[in-house]
Amino acid sequence: MSANLERDEWGGYASYILGMTKKVAAQADAGNTPINTKTLNLGWMIGFVLVVSFVGLFSILPLRRWFFTAADGCGFASFPTFGLQAFKYNFYFDFSSTYVGVGMICPYIINLSMLLGSVISWGIMWPLIEKKQGDWYTAGGMRGLQGYKVFVAIAMILGDGLYHFVAVFAKTSISLIKNLRENRDGSMTDPLSLENESLSYDDKRRIKYFTQDQIPMSVALGGYALLAIISIITVPYIFTQLKWYHILVIYLVAPILAFCNSYGCGLTDWSLASNYGKIAIFVFGSWVGMEKGGVVAGLAACGVMMSIVSTASDLMQDFKTGYLTLASPRSMFCSQVIGTLMGCIISPVVFWVFFYKAYPTLGEPGSSFPAPFGLLYRGIALIGTEGTAALPKHCLEIALGFLLLAVLLNLLRDVLCHFKISAHKYVPSAMAMAIPFYLGGYFTIDMCVGSLIRFIWEKKDKKKAEAFVPAMASGLICGDSIWGLPAAVLSLAKVKPPICMKFLSRSANAKVDGFLGG
């Protein structure tokens, strides 16, 4: 679960695409210029994902063997559980059945890590840094307190991601070298060889079915080349900040990274697609430069890279499933193409309705849907184009300190695991700690409530808890999600409930009573 907390799907609607919008750009003082923003349009969104989403499927084919309220802040969703002062710093229980359900199925260490991150950031750091206003910072937005929140969170995420990037790359390299050494002629061992006497009857039967319906190499190479040419022509038309040679470089490098990500994911069950995307942000953002729209260029390049690398890894996982279930690789590939095509049309339409029609406050701080990763990805792009000059005072030092902390936490866990010391189970997850640094602690409270329910249940009846916790959690999540549809319809129809519930301090309540009393 920790591996997926920050993992973004290849569509990127909550990350790099949202990071291009004027709404998110307005939260970051630097780079808020027309050339560094992109107006969302259903046409170019569908066109973009159609162009870049299929390439990853072809890039890896040669390797296949191997609550409804009147407004924000109204209702029990904003109940000051621990008092108004704690509520000010986002510590409250917001009665979200989704987060409670997720907390029930998340490992305890993930939920506790997020709670620890909430306490460190919103309970200690941000109140202390607020007192430095006028000394450390004077402006708002990314050059003020917002900058500390975003870039410290980015630093922890990057530290965690870079550590796993190096670790996975090292494991992948060692595995490949070992495989090559075992074969004097330099060829790699084919795990699907029927001549392998150590294979069981079931494995040999799976291999027979999996290898009899092959996809020609010419289809893979030709499909990749054709889609690359189409992308080189069309992507610069959609994003004028990118040139054809930028896209060419991405498509030359992407197959290597797709292989590394797919192979590494198979070894470690950890996809690094978002980390490859962040590398693309830095490289192409700095290459284009702020004046020529490096922010949008970096975010768009991130989208292309993540699409190729992520879909390649997903396809290899599907092939593995097909191998185990005696399914045809060709039929699985065709199904993946059809599913990708449907996603390229359905996902932008749903996002368009959600963003512009149902919830126009999406992406705004303090709203029900702040979409923090849009600002995080834009922050990364700003660093890539501007450098550390965009940061408020001491922000770089604090961010580097937390980046180092993320590396040390991962290193400590791996060392304890290597020596089989059980204390590794209690080392916090740096990725999980980083998420509430920007969002706040409200959702971590919900998730910890879910963990508490599960913990008590397991103490009372462990077998029943193991059997029914996933079902109960799924019911909570699905029920909340199903309510999202009628809530969106009511919002589109501009229907408002007749009552709004708010919680005020005694002094504020006296003022309101005095005002209403005339």
- Enumerate helices (H) and strands (E) in the chain, giving the number of each: 20, 0
| Interval 338-364: pLDDT, tens | 888 888 888 888 888 777 666 777 777
pLDDT band at 163 (very low <50, low <70, confident <90, very high): confident
DSSP 355-419: IIII-TTTTSTTSS---HHHHHHHHHHHHHHHGGGGSPTTHHHHHHHHHHHHHHHHHHHHHHHHT
Which residues, 6 or more positions from 63, have their beta carbon under 8 angstroms from its beta carbon?
Answer: 259, 262, 263, 316
Burial class (CB in 10 A: 0-12, 13-18, 19+), 515: exposed
Strand, coil or helix: 487: helix
CA angle (77 as vertex; 70, 511 as ends), nearest 5: 65
Strand, coil or helix: 17: coil
| Interval 188-219: pLDDT, tens | 555 555 555 566 777 777 777 777 767 777 88
pLDDT band at 234 (very low <50, low <70, confident <90, very high): very high
SS (H, E, C) 409-472: HHHHHHHHHHCCCHHHHHCCCHHHHHHHHHHCCHHHHHHHHHHHHHHHHHHHCHHHHHHHHHHH
| Interval 456-467: pLDDT, tens | 999 999 999 999
Specify the higher pLDDT residue, 477 or 269: 477
Q: Is the Cβ–Cβ distance between 204 and 194 less than 8 Å?
A: yes
CA dist 474 and 19 (Å) reads 30
**What is the pLDDT, as a whole number, of residue 280?**
86
**What is the pLDDT, as a whole number, of residue 296?**
93
CA dist 332 and 328 (Å) reads 6
Q: With CA atoms as reference, report the closest residue to 266 among 160, 171, 161.
A: 171
Residue 181 has pLDDT above 50, yes or no: yes
Q: Is the Cβ–Cβ distance between 57 and 317 less than 8 Å?
A: no
Note the pTM of the prediction, 2 decimals.
Answer: 0.69
Give the phi and the psi of residue 124 in degrees, each rounded to 5: -125, -60
Strand partners, 133: 137
Range ranked top by mean pLDDT from 218-222, 237-241, 305-309, 495-499 = 237-241
Average per-residue pLDDT for the chain? 81
Helix axes 430-439, 442-460, angle to 10 degrees: 130
CA dist 431 and 433 (Å) reads 5
Q: With CA atoms as reference, report the closest residue to 149 among 301, 299, 1, 370.
A: 370
Specify the higher pLDDT residue, 309 or 112: 112
| Interval 87-111: pLDDT, tens | 888 888 888 898 999 899 989 999 9
**What is the pLDDT, as a whole number, of residue 15?**
79
CA dist 63 and 259 (Å) reads 8
